[in-house]
Amino acid sequence: MTTEEHITRLLKFESANELDTGQQELLRAAVAVAEHAYAPYSGYKVGAAIALENGQIITGSNQENASFPAGTCAERSALFFAGSQYPDVKIKSVAVTTLFPAAEPVAPCGICRQALMEYEIKQGSPIELLMTHPGGKVTISESIANILPMAFRYKK
């Protein structure tokens, strides 16, 4: 038998004011787009903003559906738009937030983590993840692999 240990390194901030201006701008974009979430069933509005290497910021919000699996999360909404419109441009960072009162910053669900990981693998470089909530605290992961250590990887 062997033992494998995974250590998750997260940077925690009491306020977005402690971040650089680019990170603050990305968080503001995520908060703004969360207002456009369609969440009549859960009331849990989420916004995501993606900073591309070319300077573009792509945003997305969660979109619910009465047939629950038909809805999509904010992170994948933004991610797949970025992938379809800028297929060869690397993703630098992703910010995600909720408008729902929460004690801690919101984190991507498992499906979104796997979707983000696919792009991190594809581009061969880490994607910074910024997570926040209405309380203002911010948690940063310096890569998606950091929050999904046993990611599914398809090999032909």
As annotated, the active-site residues are 75
Dihedrals phi, psi of 80, to nearest 5 degrees: -75, -30
Which of 62, 61, 117 lies closest to 91, judged by CA? Answer: 117
Task: Name every residue whose Cβ is closer than 8 Å to that of residue 42 and which is 6 or more positions away in sequence.
Answer: 64
59 vs 94: CA distance, rounded Å: 9
68 vs 130: CA distance, rounded Å: 26
- The packing angle between helices 21-34 and 74-85, to 10°, is 110
